[in-house]
């Protein structure tokens, strides 16, 4: 289990970084689109060179890319309304819990009793984190968690039954088209053009981090249950709690750090329980 553990922890650091970039951006949907678009262009070119992938894997990639439309929409909205150290842990930690349940129900993943207890501790940490926050600050984060749970199960199944690396390339290529289509259909064409013209360097770096993050996760899915991988990946919530408190000067920093530490404690239990 060492390989998937290291892959998931590496993904955690990269993921926290590109989410901070989105939070600090102007139009957050455009920032998300920009990094997914540039990542998709690069992945599409690589996929074209290496010869594509089977049609069955392409269907899974299209399904996941479609789920990424509400993922990006709700994540942008969540960052518009809520603080970084609140939105991110709820979205990611909640998504890990939902993905774990989905893995057990749909993929035949198994957890020992201590693993189930660990998931409960993670959920407790999320409840402590939300505290008395207003519903408007957490509703979009909960929606993001639901989309994470759905696409994680799709991607885990696809990575186990096809080439994880090729599937990841196809996923980002598909996401380029789905999110671009959605953005144009909702009248954001001018904002998208202006955003990528002014911020293409930042979007390129964020896109590289985004693609690298999920490639690591897809490979890890091949060796471990989806709930285990996602829970380890969400150790990034502790990084985000510290950044929100010390760098962004967000409120309730100490409480959120304690809550995030509870989530990380659940992650440790998950590793021991596995």
CA dihedral 226, 230, 233, 239 (to 10 degrees): -170
Over residues 47-57, the pLDDT tens digits come to 999 887 788 88
- Where along the chain do its domains lie? 2-273
Give the pLDDT mean for 31-59. Answer: 91
Q: What are phi and psi of 109, to 5 degrees?
A: -65, 150
d(CA 274, CA 268): 10
Instruction: State what percent of residues in the chain have pLDDT above 90.
Output: 44
In the prediction, which pLDDT does 213 show?
87
pTM score of the predicted model: 0.90
Q: Provide the pLDDT confidence category of residue 1 given band limits of 50, 70 and 90.
A: low
Average pLDDT, the chain: 88
**What HEC string does the chain produce?**
CHHHHHHHHHHHHHHHHHHHHHHCCCCHHHHHHHHHHHHHHHHHHHHHHHCCCCHHHHHHHHHHHHHHHHHHHHHHHHHHHCCHHHHHHHHHHHHHHHHHHHHHHHCCCCCCHHHHHHHHHHHHHHHHHHCCCCHHHHHHHHHHHHHHHHHHHHHHHHHHHCCHHHHHHHHHHHHHHHHHHHHHHCCCHHHHHHHHHHHHHHHHHHHHHHHHHHHHHHHHHCCCCHHHHHHHHCCHHHHHHHHHHHHCCCCCHHHHHHHHHHHHHHHHHHHHHC
Over residues 4-17, the pLDDT tens digits come to 777 787 888 888 88
Over residues 133-153, the pLDDT tens digits come to 777 778 999 999 999 999 999
């Amino acid at each position: 289990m060492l390989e998937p553990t290291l892959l998931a922890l590496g993904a955690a650091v990269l993921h926290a970084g590109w989410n901070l970039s989105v939070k600090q951006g102007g139009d957050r949907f455009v920032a998300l689109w920009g990094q997914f678009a540039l990542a998709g262009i690069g992945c599409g070119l690589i996929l074209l060179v290496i010869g594509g992938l089977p049609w069955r894997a392409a269907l899974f990639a299209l399904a996941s890319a479609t789920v990424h439309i509400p993922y990006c929409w709700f994540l942008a909205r969540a960052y518009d309304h809520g603080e970084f150290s609140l939105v991110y842990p709820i979205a990611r930690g909640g998504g890990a819990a939902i993905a774990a349940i989905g893995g057990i129900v749909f993929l035949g993943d198994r957890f020992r009793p201590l693993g189930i207890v660990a998931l409960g501790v993670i959920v407790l940490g999320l409840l402590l984190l939300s505290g008395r926050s207003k519903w408007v600050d957490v509703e979009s984060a909960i929606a993001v968690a639901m989309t994470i749970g759905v696409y994680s199960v799709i991607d885990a199944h696809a990575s186990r039954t096809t080439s994880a690396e090729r599937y990841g390339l196809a996923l980002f290529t598909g996401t380029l088209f789905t999110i671009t289509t959605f953005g144009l259909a909702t009248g954001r064409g001018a904002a998208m053009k202006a955003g990528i013209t002014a911020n293409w360097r930042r979007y390129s770096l964020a896109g590289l981090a985004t693609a690298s993050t999920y490639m690591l996760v897809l490979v890890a899915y091949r060796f471990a249950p989806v709930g285990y991988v996602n829970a380890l990946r969400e150790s990034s919530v502790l990084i985000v709690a510290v950044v929100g408190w010390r760098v962004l000067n967000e409120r309730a920093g100490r409480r959120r750090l304690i809550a995030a530490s509870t989530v990380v404690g659940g992650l440790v239990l998950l590793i021991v329980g596995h």
